[in-house]
Amino acid sequence: METASFRRTIGAAAILAVALLSMAGFLYRETVGYLTRQIDDALIADARSFANSDPASLPARIQKALADDRRREKAFGIFAIDRTRLAGNMAALPPILPGLDNPQTLTLSLNDGEGSTSEHVRIVSTSLKNGNLLVLGHATESVDEIREIIVRALLLAVFPALAISLIGGVVMSQAMLRRVEAVRRACSSIMQGHFDRRLPVHKRQDEFDKLSVIVNAMLDEIERLVGDVKGAGDAIAHDLRTPLTRLRSRLERSMRAISDDGPVKEAMQKSLGDIDQLLATIAALMRIAEVEQSRRRENFSKVDLGEIVTALAEFYQPIAEERGLDFVVACQPAALVDADGDLLFEALANLVDNAVKFTPAGGRVGLELVAAPTGSIVRVWDTGSGIPAEERGNVLRRFYRLDPSRQTPGTGLGLSLVSAIARLHQFPLSLRDSDSGGLNVELFCQVDGDAEVA
């Protein structure tokens, strides 16, 4: 019910219902109105004819008219000035006496020779030449029957029409949803790095197809531009890595040739550190590019998160103690996840390394594995300075570093690599404030419903 196609179906059905009811109302008003006007015209004509006749002959004419009325629809009444009935089948003078220009429908008691009956009668009244009052009427039973037939027929037509329109709308909306789902799957695949995927295009060339053609052309251009940028980036990284490696080798050989520890050797050692930093940056960039292009999905297998957390704890526990930190580890049994174990270890190692690096001495760093209904949560928290809420999206970008961390050695690519690995695995990554005052990073590792618990 929350889809736009279903809402449009309901809206179209509502419009159809309003149109049908409007048409039904018009048909009802015109049909019943026409029949009522026919009765009124006949009553007025008969009343004028009787009024212009000899009053002495009227009782006989009325009796003959009643005798000829096999459907018992006519009503007559001649009344004296004192309201006494002189002739006709009306039991009493009606309480309202409409004139010839204003026929009205009243409920009257009529004597049909076998007893009195109560009928809805359309009546008019006029004065006779001798001063008596003539009342003529026509029962509306036939009009009421036709009214009921029309209402019943319209109701029988409206409900099936609504049902058919709803069924047709649901069928068409399902077809529309299937096309939207195909587009969604294609877009999801493109977002995961498969830039060769395109939106489906059918032969009928409707609005969806025309839009898909435009989007596919745009994706072709984006794929070309990304390829050009990637090719340039890979070429630059490769071209830089080779001469930097050679330069590092020359510096090492030159340092071995220098026997004393003078300023020249010290400068060469600093240069080696700078070269190592550049090589590490190039390696990290190429690593991110490799992950983002999903080259490593062939290495996915069932991975035990408990083993990864335990290995990280064993590696970083001594480092944290050396820096004067309290390293807290909590590991619950968790289901196996479909992942690249090496990449997952690398991502979590980056998170733990940052927590240890940016937490001052005397603080605490936590590494936790918590079981969840549809997966497992790996949580890394610390009591450091944290990351402001407005900066948490920025720190996942390449080379972005907060001002306080610019004096700390690093490339500014660690969290970018973590984000790329999380996207490759389709594991949600969240950053928020820790209960201990620092940063809390959670990686939600989703598992299949039939996954086994390690």
Q: How does pLDDT run along the chain (454 residues), one tens digit per residue?
A: 556 666 777 777 778 778 877 887 888 888 888 888 898 898 999 888 888 888 888 888 888 888 888 888 889 989 998 888 888 888 888 988 898 888 998 888 888 666 778 888 999 999 988 889 999 999 888 888 888 888 888 777 777 777 777 787 777 777 777 877 888 888 887 776 677 778 888 777 777 788 888 888 888 887 787 677 666 666 666 677 777 777 778 777 777 777 666 777 777 777 777 777 677 666 666 665 666 555 556 677 888 888 888 998 898 899 999 899 999 888 888 778 888 888 888 888 888 988 888 888 888 999 999 888 888 889 998 888 777 777 776 677 665 666 544 455 555 567 777 887 888 778 888 888 887 778 888 889 887 644 454 5
Annotate 12-24 with b (16+ C-beta within 10 A) or e (fewer). ebeebeeebeeeb
Give the pLDDT confidence score for residue 451 in this predicted structure. 47
| Structure tokens belonging to residue 259 | 């026997």
Q: DSSP character for 326?
A: E
For the 4-146 domain, the top CATH level (class) is alpha beta
Q: Cα(51)–Cα(126) distance, rounded to whole angstroms?
A: 7
Give the pLDDT confidence score for residue 450 in this predicted structure. 47
Burial of 403 (0-12, 13-18, 19+ CB in 10 A): exposed
Q: Does domain 300-446 have CATH number 3.30.565.10?
A: yes
Residue pair 433/440 in contact (Cβ under 8 Å)? The answer is yes
Q: Which of 401, 383, 395 is nearest to 430 (CA)?
A: 395
The length of the chain, given as a count of residues: 454
Question: What share of residues in the chain are helix, strand, coil (percent, to 5)?
Answer: 55, 20, 25
Q: What is the pTM of this model?
A: 0.48
Q: Which of 357, 410, 409, 411 is nearest to 384 (CA)?
A: 357
Q: Which of 323, 332, 349 is nearest to 441 (CA)?
A: 349
Beta-carbon-side half-sphere exposure of residue 101 (alpha carbons within 13 Å): 0
Q: Which of 367, 332, 354, 362 is nearest to 410 (CA)?
A: 354
CA 322 from centroid of its chain's CA atoms? 53
Beta strands in 90-218 (DSSP E): 104-111, 116-127, 133-139
Query: How far are the Cα atoms of 235, 265, 270, 275, 281 from residue 249, in angstroms, in the given order?
Result: 22, 15, 14, 10, 18
Q: Cα(49)–Cα(42) distance, rounded to whole angstroms?
A: 11
Q: Cα(201)–Cα(183) distance, rounded to whole angstroms?
A: 10
Q: Which of 83, 94, 44, 89 is nearest to 63 (CA)?
A: 89
What is the widest separation between alpha-carbon atoms in the chain? 156
Q: DSSP character for 395?
A: G
Q: DSSP character for 56?
A: G
Residue 320, SS3?
helix
Give the pLDDT confidence score for residue 449 in this predicted structure. 47
Query: How far are the Cα atoms of 316, 379, 423 from residue 419, in angstroms, in the given order?
Result: 21, 15, 6
Residue corresponding to tokens 């809805």: 120
Burial of 156 (0-12, 13-18, 19+ CB in 10 A): exposed
Give the pLDDT confidence score for residue 187 in this predicted structure. 81
Q: Cα(438)–Cα(77) distance, rounded to whole angstroms?
A: 102
Q: Cα(54)–Cα(9) distance, rounded to whole angstroms?
A: 69
| Structure tokens belonging to residue 92 | 């009493």
Give the pLDDT confidence score for residue 408 in this predicted structure. 54
Contacts of 107 (CB under 8 A, 6+ apart): 118, 119, 120, 121
Q: Which of 111, 115, 121, 116 is nearest to 142 (CA)?
A: 121
Q: Cα(125)–Cα(76) distance, rounded to whole angstroms?
A: 10
Residue pair 366/382 in contact (Cβ under 8 Å)? The answer is yes
Amino acid 122 reads R
Q: Cα(130)–Cα(172) distance, rounded to whole angstroms?
A: 76
Q: Which of 369, 362, 378 is nearest to 326 (CA)?
A: 362
